[in-house]
Amino acid sequence: MIDALFGSGLSRAVDGVFADAIRAMNDTDCIRVAVDIPSGLRADEPSSGQIVKADHTISFQTPKLAFLFPSHHKFVGEWHVLDIGLDKDFIRKQDVSHFVLTSRDIRKRLKTRSTYDHKGNYGHVLLVSGSYGKTGATVLSARAALRSGVGLLTVCVPSCGYVVLQSSVPEAMVLADPNERVISSIPELEKYSAIGVGPGLGQSGETVKALQSLLEQSKKPLVIDADGLNIIAEHRNLMHLVPAGSILTPHPKEFERIVGRWSNDFERLDKQIDLARQLNSVIVLKGAFTSIAAPDGGVYFNPTGNPGMATGGTGDVLTGILTGLMGQGYNCQEAAIVGVYLHGLAGDLAASDLGFESLIASDIIAYLPAAFQKIRNSGKKNQRHF
Amino acid sequence: MIDALFGSGLSRAVDGVFADAIRAMNDTDCIRVAVDIPSGLRADEPSSGQIVKADHTISFQTPKLAFLFPSHHKFVGEWHVLDIGLDKDFIRKQDVSHFVLTSRDIRKRLKTRSTYDHKGNYGHVLLVSGSYGKTGATVLSARAALRSGVGLLTVCVPSCGYVVLQSSVPEAMVLADPNERVISSIPELEKYSAIGVGPGLGQSGETVKALQSLLEQSKKPLVIDADGLNIIAEHRNLMHLVPAGSILTPHPKEFERIVGRWSNDFERLDKQIDLARQLNSVIVLKGAFTSIAAPDGGVYFNPTGNPGMATGGTGDVLTGILTGLMGQGYNCQEAAIVGVYLHGLAGDLAASDLGFESLIASDIIAYLPAAFQKIRNSGKKNQRHF
Amino acid sequence: MIDALFGSGLSRAVDGVFADAIRAMNDTDCIRVAVDIPSGLRADEPSSGQIVKADHTISFQTPKLAFLFPSHHKFVGEWHVLDIGLDKDFIRKQDVSHFVLTSRDIRKRLKTRSTYDHKGNYGHVLLVSGSYGKTGATVLSARAALRSGVGLLTVCVPSCGYVVLQSSVPEAMVLADPNERVISSIPELEKYSAIGVGPGLGQSGETVKALQSLLEQSKKPLVIDADGLNIIAEHRNLMHLVPAGSILTPHPKEFERIVGRWSNDFERLDKQIDLARQLNSVIVLKGAFTSIAAPDGGVYFNPTGNPGMATGGTGDVLTGILTGLMGQGYNCQEAAIVGVYLHGLAGDLAASDLGFESLIASDIIAYLPAAFQKIRNSGKKNQRHF
Amino acid sequence: MIDALFGSGLSRAVDGVFADAIRAMNDTDCIRVAVDIPSGLRADEPSSGQIVKADHTISFQTPKLAFLFPSHHKFVGEWHVLDIGLDKDFIRKQDVSHFVLTSRDIRKRLKTRSTYDHKGNYGHVLLVSGSYGKTGATVLSARAALRSGVGLLTVCVPSCGYVVLQSSVPEAMVLADPNERVISSIPELEKYSAIGVGPGLGQSGETVKALQSLLEQSKKPLVIDADGLNIIAEHRNLMHLVPAGSILTPHPKEFERIVGRWSNDFERLDKQIDLARQLNSVIVLKGAFTSIAAPDGGVYFNPTGNPGMATGGTGDVLTGILTGLMGQGYNCQEAAIVGVYLHGLAGDLAASDLGFESLIASDIIAYLPAAFQKIRNSGKKNQRHF
């Protein structure tokens, strides 16, 4: 975890002649390069006043926290980090709680497999997903869970998804809900080592009740995504039922439905940390530099991924990966760190072959094996993947 | 847009001894090569009288307009253009409105993606497509839209297509029409950034009404293809409802149903330009050297594509691509230029691996990533793909 | 067509001391190699008496007819042909009617495609196929027809095959028979350029009537396979309805049901030739060295193919290929020659990658593009593929 | 079969000062390497007392039996065998009944195919499999049977699997059980050359009766797996109906249901050998180093396979392979030896490309062609694959 994030930066807004200078610079047609940090931008707090709008920012040793927020993109542009030989032990000892993940962080968390392991060692996962017209989400989650290493997979879908799932994912067992169009009930949960819920669920009354029943019965942590989150945001009484040790994976709009508005990205981060503490769970806020807030206050920013992944179904794939990892015995923090990084890395490998436009969610599943292999091989060659 | 089309050519029909000479030449068994233009053929107007039937035509700097028409193939044969160093600035300044597309034209129109883009940046597209026995067309359009870079895709099919779509295209959401066999109604349209309509629709009474309703409600431009066009040709009162900024993609027979017969390809081109002006939309007339007529009178001929693409479903793929591009914010002219070229280029890359006979529509989708990559890479190496 | 088949051979059975010698040779444990032809075997007529059982036979210039019959395999073993420089013009001028196909024969028959060709140029094919539990045959035929270059494909299946076909072959249009389980009726046939009938049909009463109706209405030649043939064998009154210029593709058991038993492979060949003359159609008798009997008495033996193709569905693939070729304007004799050779070559290319055991019918379709390419490229390099 | 297993080892438990020494060694943090066999472990009998917990064991010429048991993994660690030049003829002549398979054992058992073979030569196999929610198992078994070289395949599934099977495995014919959700009846069995039963069956009353009927009617040996085994374990009266020459493929839990508990792996092996003798059938006990017990008392340990294969559906794939091989005329012992080895080798080839986590059951089918090819090619190059 060598990429701790810390930085000095200015303590107040730029004004006066300096502000005029920045304004003038921003008005030119030139390519602007900032060194360390764009003038006027604060590394660890909200900024105000004039700020240089750099096309490129060259920083040292570690990126600044501010670089990782969408709202700063117009100031920071594309950023680059140079290793200037600062003492790494010193960095490691700093009392920081914000980190950028590296492939080494993933590699050392990956479980190894033993010759005599059997299906039981890798868990039996349940996915609760789908509604009429949205069972494709279930297919994507299921395939991703399987490619993440789970031992057994059972999928709970409305009856309308029965043929779809059995045709598309022969490795999965299917529990068809008696309801044709929506999830209306929850099976016995005891035998499952992890449960993922949310993709394509919809928010019908039956499904709200089913989710409540799932939250009440589950003694194991959950991965909750998409409409699972939207239902909880609408029915706040469900919030306290979320089992400790779960993973919630909102995108910014879903997050806003849960925690309300924020005035800037620092506040958004605080809300994320607060929610993680409150639920004693991991909150994965999806986007560029997805942030993973752990219950202990630690935040992990993910450097993998690309705008080609901004396409329908990639979130369902992440849910499958995270549930698959939880099922194999990764705890919520490990699963989120490993899963989010792998998901983005698979997307990067796919984009490198297919380009941004043509990348679809299924490609991320198809490149998941290569992502696992790349992490493992990076260890062998002692290469560092950022 | 360096390949402006212009040419001098003869001003009158060949007759007398010259006609006899041409007749004699055409009767020989030799391979005939024309230089500049086959004698007797007029570059910019319909020809009459005797015309040399060349096997090959070698022309200079830019092809002549006449080379791009099917009816002239027997005179022009295979044509080749030599760069003889004519001043390109001079060419560019000519007041011409006919162009042959190059890969550079596509590359400079391709939108770039930014780190912080999310699904919303790439639009939510609706495809209205399919009828009993023709939902395969919907599958092809949907897959093509996804591989073209759209953020979210919803597909509206008759109920008979429900399992087909959910099994075949898990990334798409499905709105199943209450009617089992045909599209009979149109969903709320507000959230969609672009709409494609036509592939596999059939022309049932219910569907005619549904299309009328779609045309009346849509505030956004459409991509209209196949039976969407046939219905409009049959129900002329729908014509004026086509939203400005749409793309219509007829093949010659569908075009004839809309505009009536033409006596020669120049007249056909005029009718195409007129229709584009009248509807304030782009008319894509499909075939070899597909012509794209813009509302401003400009016509763009597409050099990519091959006879292996003369197989069922390739038009459905084009509809998906165009709708996907419109959904991402390309206007109708940009989408038509970029989409038609990419569609043909993907077909060319597929044919190079698979041959003409074995090429099927799905292959064009499979080679779409390579087509995007080829365009982008041609920029890096500064190569020109014709 | 350089591999005309002719040979001298013995005119009578071996007996006496020669027979004893052969018997003794056959009793040894050695590897036996025959030169020209195994002693005792007659090249062009049924043999009797003692015959050497060779492991290998090395023959000159052209194989003997007798080498191509299953019942002689135990005598001929693996056979090899050496070019000893016999005058090829002389060979070509012999009045022979038995030929072994070469890739050159296929290459020169392959139609070329022209820039301005459209879907209509490559025909609209109808496949009539399938019954409850056997619609997989329809899927295989349909995919093979598409990969053979057809312009448009419509598939007529019982309703139980509707979702199967639309999900598996999106490029095909589907006409679902009102009967859930079997084909019971025939659509309007006028628009189709070729029709294939038989794979997976079953032999229900409804289907017998439907086939009769098809035979009565069709003005175009058919490709008839599998249960299409079995029905005709059972209902001899249908035989005279087979349109001239059709292709029948029996395997030996189906052939026997039509023409009765044979006492040796020469008689079998005579029966095949007679049937071709009688129906004025091509009879393709499937097996190793598939024989293609034309109405003019010519017989073409196919050297491609391998025992890995002895697996369910490969016949359905051949039906699709032949129908696809007929639809593009190949006549029955051309289609049979080109299609049978390509089918076997695709199987050979597949087996070379996958081995005999693992080869399945779908692989032949997947390697069809490579087979077309190999034929075309063999021309470019002037290589001869036997 | 050169890797006969035999060894001397200690004849009594370690105690006293030696036990203290071992305890001390096991308490250190060092990597422990055992030579020949970890001290305290007995090669051919249950061990007691202190045993060295080696990380690696280096043994000579052949592995010891004890190395192949899961319960000894913590003592043996990763084991390696060095060829020290012991006389192989001597080894071969020992009266041992435990063997580790080598690729040579497989290669020499693989049947070769002859030019004139047809579908009939490779058998017609029946799979009886599937229940509501578990028809994916049927898909996997069916695909595996086809890729193993069977001539024809018929699959018997509950009606709910009809569309699933026809869409997923077009090469298979489907017999849909009249019951929607479970197998309730058995078709005529005469035409099938081998029958596989079990994957995904469930254990409903109807299916118990159907299995009983199958066992009573079948004159041919069966492959029995999964719920087929569980039903027999529950209904002991069915046990004696298992036809001689069958293959049973339990995993340890299924095996325990049949034979009861064991106190150590040697006893487990004895129970396996006993059951094989009692049923006059092959018992394949699945796991790392899958053991194959033949009716003659011979036991074959399989060295291929890896923990990536501990994922849902790999057992169904094995059932398909074994049934496919039986259908082609391999007897139960040959089929088990060849099939288990190929299954594991395909998994190893898949894992080498995809890694352990991402490997799913379908991958084993996809790599089956490569496994066959690797066995065959190992012969050509005279390489030995362990």
DSSP state of A309: G
Higher pLDDT, C174 or B381: C174
Test B311 with C368 for CB contact under 8 angstroms.
Answer: no
- Determine whether C162 is exposed, middle or buried from the number of CB atoms within 10 Å of its CB (0-12, 13-18, 19+): buried
With 70 as the cut, is the pLDDT of residue B345 above it?
yes
Q: Does A139 touch chain B (CB under 8 A)?
A: yes
> What percent of chain C has a predicted confidence (pLDDT) above 90?
69
Do residues A323 and A125 make contact, with C-beta atoms less than 8 angstroms apart? yes
- Can you give the pLDDT at residue A10? 53
Test A136 with B171 for CB contact under 8 angstroms.
Answer: yes
How far is the C-alpha of B218 from the C-alpha of B212, rounded, in Å? 10
pLDDT tens-digit profile of B194-220? 999 999 999 999 999 999 999 999 989
How far is the C-alpha of B38 from the C-alpha of A311, rounded, in Å? 51
Angle, alpha carbons D291-D295-D296 (nearest 5°): 100
For helices D368-380 and D332-358, the axis angle rounded to 10 degrees is 110
Element (H, E) at C248: strand C247-248
With 80 as the cut, is the pLDDT of residue D8 above it?
no
Distance from CA of B293 to the nearest CA of A (A): 26
The residue behind tokens 């006059």 is D280
- Can you give the pLDDT at residue B81? 87
Q: Please report which confidence band the pLDDT of residue D46 belongs to, taking 50, 70 and 90 as the band edges.
A: confident
* Residue from the list B163, B310, B360 with its beta carbon closest to the beta carbon of C118: B310
pLDDT tens-digit profile of B223-243? 999 999 999 999 999 999 999
With 80 as the cut, is the pLDDT of residue D1 above it?
no
How far is the C-alpha of D185 from the C-alpha of D204, rounded, in Å? 12
Nearest to C139 by CA among C382, C372, C383, C361: C361
Test D73 with A146 for CB contact under 8 angstroms.
Answer: no
Q: Which of B358, B362, B363, B364 to mutate to test the interface with C (most CBs of C within 10 A)?
A: B358
- Can you give the pLDDT at residue A383? 41
With 90 as the cut, is the pLDDT of residue B317 above it?
yes
Residue C81's SS3 state is: strand
Do residues C44 and C96 make contact, with C-beta atoms less than 8 angstroms apart? no
User: pTM of the predicted model, to two decimals?
Assistant: 0.94
For helices A136-147 and A314-327, the axis angle rounded to 10 degrees is 40
Test B118 with A161 for CB contact under 8 angstroms.
Answer: no
How far is the C-alpha of D355 from the C-alpha of D371, rounded, in Å? 17
Q: How far is CA D160 from CA C179, D130, D134, in A?
A: 19, 9, 10
Test B171 with A313 for CB contact under 8 angstroms.
Answer: yes
Which amino acid type is present at position D64?
K
Q: Does A162 touch chain B (CB under 8 A)?
A: no
pLDDT tens-digit profile of B4-61? 454 445 556 777 888 888 888 888 888 888 888 888 888 888 888 889 899 889 988 8
DSSP of B221-281: -EEE-HHHHHHHHH-GGGGGGSPTT-EE---HHHHHHHH---SSHHHHHHHHHHHHHHHTS
Test A166 with D308 for CB contact under 8 angstroms.
Answer: no
- Determine whether D19 is exposed, middle or buried from the number of CB atoms within 10 Å of its CB (0-12, 13-18, 19+): middle
How far is the C-alpha of D231 from the C-alpha of D128, rounded, in Å? 14
Test D369 with C361 for CB contact under 8 angstroms.
Answer: no
pLDDT tens-digit profile of D226-253? 999 999 999 999 999 999 999 999 999 9
Sheet architecture: strand order including A33-35: A33-35, A56-60, A78-82
Hey, what are C145's tokens? 């027809």
- Can you give the pLDDT at residue B62? 82
Distance from CA of A156 to the nearest CA of D (A): 10
Q: Does B176 touch chain C (CB under 8 A)?
A: no
pLDDT tens-digit profile of C234-292? 999 999 999 999 999 999 999 999 999 999 999 999 999 999 999 999 999 999 999 99
Q: How far is CA D68 from the centre of its chain?
A: 14
Contacts with C376 (C-beta within 8 Å, 6 or more apart), sequence order: B355, C107, C110
Contacts with D160 (C-beta within 8 Å, 6 or more apart), sequence order: A162, D132, D135, D180, D181
Residue A99's SS3 state is: strand
Nearest to D62 by CA among D115, D4, D143: D4
Q: Which residues of chain C have pLDDT under 50?
A: 1-4, 6-9, 382-386
pLDDT tens-digit profile of A327-354? 999 999 999 999 999 999 999 999 999 9
DSSP of C172-219: SEEEEESSSSB-------TT-SEEEE-TT----HHHHHHHHHHHHH--
- Can you give the pLDDT at residue A384? 41
Test D147 with C360 for CB contact under 8 angstroms.
Answer: yes
b/e per residue C254-274 (b: at least 16 CB within 10 A)? bbeebbeebeebbebbebbbe
Backbone angles phi, psi at B280, to 5 degrees: 50, 45
Tell how many helices (H) and how many strands (E) occur in chain D.
Answer: 14, 14
Which residue in chain C has the smallest CA separation from D366? C358
* Residue from the list A122, A174, A369 with its beta carbon closest to the beta carbon of D310: A122
Q: How many residues does the structure list for chain A?
A: 386
Contacts with B196 (C-beta within 8 Å, 6 or more apart), sequence order: B125, B126, B127, B128, B129, B141, B145, B222, B223, B224, B225, B319, B320, B322, B323, B326
How far is the C-alpha of C368 from the C-alpha of D5, rounded, in Å? 49
Average pLDDT, chain B: 91
- Can you give the pLDDT at residue A88? 75
How far is the C-alpha of C141 from the C-alpha of C154, rounded, in Å? 11
pLDDT tens-digit profile of A45-91? 888 888 989 888 998 888 888 888 888 888 888 888 888 887 777 77
Hey, what are C140's tokens? 């295989």
Nearest to C70 by CA among C296, C192, C251: C251
How far is the C-alpha of B197 from the C-alpha of B156, rounded, in Å? 10
Higher pLDDT, D106 or B386: D106
Nearest to C51 by CA among C22, C16, C28: C22
Q: Does B16 touch chain A (CB under 8 A)?
A: no
Test A173 with D135 for CB contact under 8 angstroms.
Answer: no
Distance from CA of A363 to the nearest CA of D (A): 14
Test D166 with C167 for CB contact under 8 angstroms.
Answer: no
| Mean predicted confidence (pLDDT) in B301-313 | 96
How far is the C-alpha of D184 from the C-alpha of D207, rounded, in Å? 5
| H-state helical runs in chain D | 16-27, 73-76, 88-93, 103-109, 136-147, 162-168, 205-217, 226-234, 252-259, 265-279, 314-327, 332-358, 361-366, 368-380
| Mean predicted confidence (pLDDT) in A154-165 | 98
Higher pLDDT, B372 or A378: B372
How far is the C-alpha of C78 from the C-alpha of A2, rounded, in Å? 68
Which residues face D125 on adjacent strands? D153, D194
- Can you give the pLDDT at residue A179? 98
Q: Please report which confidence band the pLDDT of residue D96 belongs to, taking 50, 70 and 90 as the band edges.
A: confident
Chains touching chain D, criterion 3+ CB pairs below 8 Å: A, C
With 80 as the cut, is the pLDDT of residue B380 above it?
no
The residue behind tokens 């090829």 is C88
- Can you give the pLDDT at residue D2? 39
Q: Please report which confidence band the pLDDT of residue B381 belongs to, taking 50, 70 and 90 as the band edges.
A: low
Q: Does A352 touch chain B (CB under 8 A)?
A: no
Element (H, E) at D55: none
Q: Does A376 touch chain D (CB under 8 A)?
A: yes
* Residue from the list B73, B134, B308 with its beta carbon closest to the beta carbon of C173: B134
With 90 as the cut, is the pLDDT of residue D188 above it?
yes
Test B169 with A135 for CB contact under 8 angstroms.
Answer: no
b/e per residue A9-26 (b: at least 16 CB within 10 A)? bbeeebeeeebeebeebb
Longest dimension (CA), chain D: 71
Test C119 with B164 for CB contact under 8 angstroms.
Answer: no
The residue behind tokens 């042909």 is C81
Contacts with D181 (C-beta within 8 Å, 6 or more apart), sequence order: D131, D132, D158, D160, D204
Higher pLDDT, C166 or B83: C166
Residue A78's SS3 state is: strand
Using a CB-CB distance cutoff of 8 angstroms, which residues of chain D are in contact with residue C54? none
Using a CB-CB distance cutoff of 8 angstroms, which residues of chain A are in contact with residue B170? 135-137, 139-140, 168, 313, 361-362
Which residue in chain B has the smallest CA separation from C111? B357
Q: What's the Rg (C-alpha) of chain C?
A: 22
| Mean predicted confidence (pLDDT) in B92-106 | 86
Residue C301's SS3 state is: strand
| Mean predicted confidence (pLDDT) in A260-278 | 96
With 90 as the cut, is the pLDDT of residue A121 above it?
no
Test C310 with D117 for CB contact under 8 angstroms.
Answer: yes
Q: Does A180 touch chain B (CB under 8 A)?
A: no
Hey, what are A161's tokens? 């998804």
pLDDT tens-digit profile of A284-341? 999 999 999 999 999 999 999 999 999 999 999 999 999 999 999 999 999 999 999 9
Which amino acid type is present at position B339?
G
How far is the C-alpha of C129 from the C-alpha of C201, rounded, in Å? 5
* Residue from the list A132, A312, A353 with its beta carbon closest to the beta carbon of B119: A312
Neighbours of A181 (CB within 10 A): 18
